[in-house]
Chain A
Amino acid sequence: MHEAADIEISRRGILVGGAATVALPAVASAEPGRASSVPQPPRMPIRLEVNGESHSLELDTRTTLLDALREHLHLTGTKKGCDHGQCGACTVIVDGRRINSCLTLAVMHDGEAITTIEGLGTPDRLHPMQAAFIKHDGYQCGYCTPGQICSAVAVLDEIKAGIPSHVTEDIIASIRPTNLEMRERMSGNICRCGAYSNIAEAMAEVLGAEVSGAEVSGESA
């Protein structure tokens, strides 16, 4: 489908080119309009702002943000797990909010600020959450890890912004960033290796470094 769109077009180019060199007159009489009679899926121009860089693309409208990042911008840190919003491996941060990049169309994000795992830190300058995942063994195979880390970074912002969760006992008061809060808020990120307890510990360490005391503001705009 759209993942293969670039390949398909180049292959068609080769086939047409090959036929033309072998039997140009026959092709000219028998094949006019052949390429245009195959309905082409609609495409649209789009500008994606990813990790501070602007990219102009023309994409099949069906292209998800996930496929745009991986197949067109070759930012393969963001992973495709279930492709249905159930596993969280594709989590990226758009305008400060974590979302499933598999369940949104690239054309819906023209000009929005997208942060992927590649934009959080680099091997030389790790994001504090990346460093904490390494320190606490927050992964085994690593496939879900980019999504886990993007989600974890956004979760701490959500707690600081006073956004309540299912396990928040008093939704009017300030939110206590407990281990239970971390686990509930991370339930959209599945880890089949089962590194959950270490992920929660990594998050607690980063939160401890960022927030003094156990309580953060419960106010929200």
Chain B
Amino acid sequence: MRPFTYERATSAQDAAAKAARMPGAKFIAGGTNLLDLMKIEVETPTHLIDVNGLGLDRIGPTADGGLRIGALVRNTDLAADMRVRRDYALLSRALVAGASGQLRNKATTAGNLLQRTRCSYFYDTNQPCNKRKPGSGCAAIAGYSRPLGVIGVSEACIATHPSDMAIAMRALDATVETVKPDGTARAIPIADLHRLPGATPQIETTLEKGEFIVGVTLPRPIGGTHIYHKVRDRASYAFALVSIGAILQKDGSGRIAVGGIAPKPWRVEAAEAEMPRGAKAVSSALLAGAKPTQENAFKLTLVERTLGAVMAQARA
């Protein structure tokens, strides 16, 4: 690990201003992903701004009947909150499908959204990787691509966003609240937070330099049957090959977000209109334009079949 200086932020704006001003500065919250990457020197911050202790660890109602989740709320606390379990069960289910108990106790809401891909070539500093070292190439496309992305990917990068939580938040139409270095606030629909790689896979979000996530809001509950179905190589503590986050209504309508297949939580609202025609029709629309590799083409079938299982479960 490279040496770094460390300080505790005194407010959200203080954190944002410091991060914008100091080259090489990074926020640290739970630290479970950042420190992992710092140990192998994929991340090499020269200054850490500890944003724990800013009072952003609370969950409360919004004026319009929704829920506001502080950026520093731990995954465990969010999954266990009775309002979340009752009204946004998809979010609880997605959270407990991710990581381990120890990690969920540290991992935060904002940190989970901003975690980096688990593409093995991103982690291996002996390999080319356009995300880690722009312009160096992508070893994954012709390499071990089985766990990687099939849609929204580019010639430069096929990494996936690894979050389970973000899949639920995408289906729930969450909004990400930020503070910029100049103190102004911004609300970003979660659909617009993560960007597709294109030719610049190192730029993963639409956040500006120093811009700091202070919380996530959920709109008022929409009812329905909430299902998070995660398919992975072992039954627990593994990243998704494919995951489906679904909110299905009695009238046959619903929302579907898919994990494990794309650089961001994958949701195509137009595909949801195909719900009455079944899983095959929905997944065809969801996956239109997919560019799988030979190794991960199975994910296209897996999305359709997992969605079929989810829809059958909701009808049962």
Contact = CB atoms under 8 A, between A and B. Distances in A.
B1 A62 contact: yes
A145 interface: no
B79 A104 contact: no
B32 A103 contact: yes
Interface of B: 1, 3-6, 28, 31-32, 35-36, 39, 48, 50, 52, 76, 79-82, 85-86, 89, 92-93, 96-97, 99-103, 105-106, 235-237
A19 interface: no
Given A103-B31, A108-B52, A91 B6 contact: no
A125 to B, nearest CB: 26
B271 to A, nearest CB: 27
Majority SS at the chain A contact face: loop
Interface stretch (A10-18, A27-35, A48-56, A182-190): A182-190
A165 B93 CA distance: 8
A14 B261 CA distance: 57
B96 A166 contact: yes
A44 B50 CA distance: 14
Nearest to B98: A166
Interface string A116-146: 0000000000000000000000000000000
Interface in A31-75: 39, 41-42, 44, 60-62, 64
A103 B36 contact: yes
A195 interface: no
Contacts of A91: 102
5 contacts: A103-B31, A103-B32, A103-B106, A105-B31, A188-B102
Contacts of A163: 76, 79-80
A177 interface: no
Contact of B35 (A44, A105, A168): A105
Interface of A: 1, 39, 41-42, 44, 60-62, 64, 83-85, 88, 91, 97-100, 103-105, 107-108, 151, 154-155, 158, 161-166, 168, 171-172, 183-189, 219-220
Contact of A164 (B52, B79, B237): B79
A85 B85 contact: no
A166 B97 contact: yes
Contact of A88 (B80, B81, B100): B100
A183 to B, nearest CB: 8
Given A42-B6, A104-B32, A220-B80, 9 more contacts: A84-B36, A99-B106, A104-B35, A104-B106, A105-B35, A108-B28, A151-B101, A188-B99, A188-B103
B86 A172 contact: yes
Nearest to B35: A103
Leading 3 A-B pairs by shortest Cβ distance:
A188-B100, A187-B236, A41-B3
Contacts of B237: 187-188
B106 A184 contact: no
Given A162-B80, A187-B237, A100 B32 contact: yes
B3 A62 contact: yes
Contact of A161 (B80, B86, B93): B80
A97 to B, nearest CB: 4
A166 B48 CA distance: 33
A85 B32 contact: yes
B205 to A, nearest CB: 22
Nearest to A100: B102
